[in-house]
Chain A
Amino acid sequence: MSWLVWRQHRTELIGLALVILALAVFVIGTGVPMRGFDGGLACLGTNAAPSCGGQGDFERAFGWLTGIVGWFNLIPLLIGVFIGGPLLGRELERGTHRLVWTQSVTRTRWITVRLLAVVGLAVAVGAGIAGLMTWWRQPFDLLDSPFAGAGFDLEGLMPGMYVLFALALGAAAGAASRKVLPAMALTLPAFLAVRLPIEFWLRPHYAPPITALVYGSGGGAPPGAWVIDSGLIDSAGTRIYASQATQLCGNPATGSLPKSADACLHAHGIFERVVYQPLDRFWPFQFIEAGIYTALCIALLSFTVYWVRHRLR
């Protein structure tokens, strides 16, 4: 049975392996120069040695790469669409499930092996992406936060969970629609409709964020924290826009608000308010979000097994 699954999907799996290989080449090709820059990792973050050059130089040299890495978030989606959708959809569309189910293999075994392969693939791809990206993002995690950019999405448990969720979606859509293209077409929006709201609406609230009021402007959140919101407020708590602050304390002609204006802002009762999630919540948040996706995957996989066992012929 596992031979059949491999034989049916080897083209897609080889394609996927090439994608991961390309990813590894990119990660090593850019990760090694990043570590050779200036004093390497020791020169990044708050503990950088005084002898180091400016960290801004590092940002200027390599910061743009994070924009490319953000696209790696599409890998789970593509796996879901191109492997998950056809996983059951192609078989059901062409009627070959009737061939397999009447060899000496029950349909329960057929679906079990397929879904186990899905879990195995998610674990392997997830571990691969997370391993590569955790190593690659080390400088950025020091410089900024592992929450920032695509750090949370590409490190830890999340890549594997996204791959599993996308594959489970594709499989469920394939079982329900019994067609390849509708299964693929359904997987794409369904994945985004879950993945994006969870990232933008739920993730910042897995634990109540910490609010800090800081004298003057600038700074405020501890190193590595995920700053969800920051801005100036007055003593009544109303938001002060940068233009207003500049009017009051800065140089309206140039529109700048220098650090020296802090005393002036304080005199006006204006504080910087920072809302953030501290760095030590990275793993708890990973487990919470992984838990949400685990629940979704269990629901989807149970649906698929039920559907295959009782609703298909």
Chain B
Amino acid sequence: MSSALSAAGLSRRYGKTWALHECSLEVPAGSVTALVGPNGAGKTTLLEIAVGILEPTEGEIRLLGTPMRGQTPSLLSRIGFVAQDAPLYRNFTVLDMLQVGRHLNPRWDDALARDRLRRLRIPRNRVCGQLSGGQQAQVALTLAVAKRPELLILDEPVARLDPLARREFLESLMEIVADGGLTVLLSSHLISDLERVSDQLILLSEGTVLLAGSTEDLLAEHAVLSGPRHNVEAVAARCQLIDARATGTHATVVVRRLEGPVDPRLTVDAVDLEELVLAYLRRRPAPLNAAEPVLVGGVS
């Protein structure tokens, strides 16, 4: 599978801090890739570099097979982008916003845009400032989709939305994806938002990639072990330990590439995506080897 987006050694520095540090990643063509990470992880920086709003300090990025060197109209016309908070002109009507899209994009699909707004029952003559948050997000998405992009990049598209609007937004996004021919890269600080829509995961924290791959593979590669602490330790020593929590004589660990027979006194569970993300963000494998027991839960 070719890459819709690939980055190598991508870094961005602000003063002395690295917002992004040597990130290398791939967004497979046709995938829906979730870019997940806590606030301040560098998600927006990465996405803004991807659309050319921001220049990297180091490293390079290729979009749709073309190296990105500043913005070019031809490359921009193939990318749809919705910035954080879905900015719209507050005093423009929804139809005015479509005019904006029509005037600024060579491949603009006006019929698609109008049809989409009609199905979403967004009043076309209302000014954007008076639309609900969910409607504003939908108008912004419509603008990005009607460009007929090959790669759609959405920065925290659902962060401001209430749970119902969030669900509606993601459902409408899935409809767009189902039409095919589109790669989607979207970010959120909550994996739970994107779990149902995405098939690829990139986990970013403090400007570096912690974990990346297809969610299916990642879930298959990881497991949760729990049981008596000494038995857990023995198994954990044979595989890659990601996170560990222990209370007294009991321990729970998240491991990668668990191979060989497992001690029957241990329970082995599949990991879910949220658990996996949290395990990588916590990443505290040390306690099992240390003498001090570590308190579980509630303290992180």
Binding site for B on A (CB under 8 A): 1, 3-4, 7-8, 94-96, 98-109, 313
Contact = CB atoms under 8 A, between A and B. Distances in A.
Interface in B80-135: 80-81, 83-85, 87-90, 92, 96, 99-101, 103-107
A178 to B, nearest CB: 13
A313 B81 CA distance: 14
B159 to A, nearest CB: 14
Given A99-B140, A104-B147, A106-B72, 13 more contacts: A3-B103, A4-B100, A4-B104, A7-B96, A7-B99, A8-B89, A95-B87, A96-B87, A101-B71, A103-B105, A104-B76, A104-B77, A106-B52
Given A7-B96, A7-B99, A98-B53, A104 B105 contact: yes
Contacts of A103: 76, 100-101, 104-105, 147
B53 A104 contact: no
B104 A98 contact: no
Nearest to B155: A98
A308 to B, nearest CB: 12
The interface residues of chain B, by DSSP majority, are classed as loop
B137 to A, nearest CB: 13
Contacts of A107: 53, 71
A102 B101 contact: no
A95 B83 contact: yes
B96 to A, nearest CB: 6
A144 to B, nearest CB: 47
B89 to A, nearest CB: 6
B225 interface: no
Q: How large is the interface on B (under 10, 10 to 19, 20 to 34, 35 or more residues)?
A: 35 or more
B51 interface: yes
A203 B15 CA distance: 44
B53 A99 contact: no
B83 A105 contact: no
A102 B87 contact: no
B143 interface: yes
Contacts of A109: 73
Contacts of B73: 104-106, 109
Contacts of A106: 52, 70-73, 76
A8 B140 CA distance: 18
A104 B102 CA distance: 10
A50 B81 CA distance: 78
Interface in B45-82: 48, 51-54, 70-74, 76-77, 79-81
Among all A-B residue pairs, the 5 with the closest Cβ atoms = A103-B104, A104-B77, A102-B81, A98-B83, A95-B87
Contacts of A95: 83-85, 87
Contacts of A7: 92, 96, 99-100
B99 A3 contact: yes
- Which of B53, B85, B104, B143 is packed against the most chain A CB atoms within 10 Å? B104
Contact of B54 (A99, A100, A105, A313): A313
A313 B54 CA distance: 6
A99 B147 CA distance: 12
B188 to A, nearest CB: 18
A4 B54 CA distance: 23
A86 to B, nearest CB: 12
Contact of B104 (A8, A104, A108, A313): A104
B53 A102 contact: yes
B103 A4 contact: yes
- Which of A3, A8, A99, A101 is packed against the most chain B CB atoms within 10 Å? A99
B221 to A, nearest CB: 35
A39 to B, nearest CB: 55
A25 to B, nearest CB: 30
Contacts of B53: 98, 101-102, 107, 313
A192 to B, nearest CB: 30
A99 B72 contact: no
B15 to A, nearest CB: 14
A105 B48 contact: no
Contacts of B48: 98, 313
A106 B52 CA distance: 9
Contacts of A98: 48, 53, 81, 83, 87
A313 B89 CA distance: 18
B184 to A, nearest CB: 15
Contacts of B70: 106
Contacts of B72: 106
B106 A94 contact: no
B51 to A, nearest CB: 5
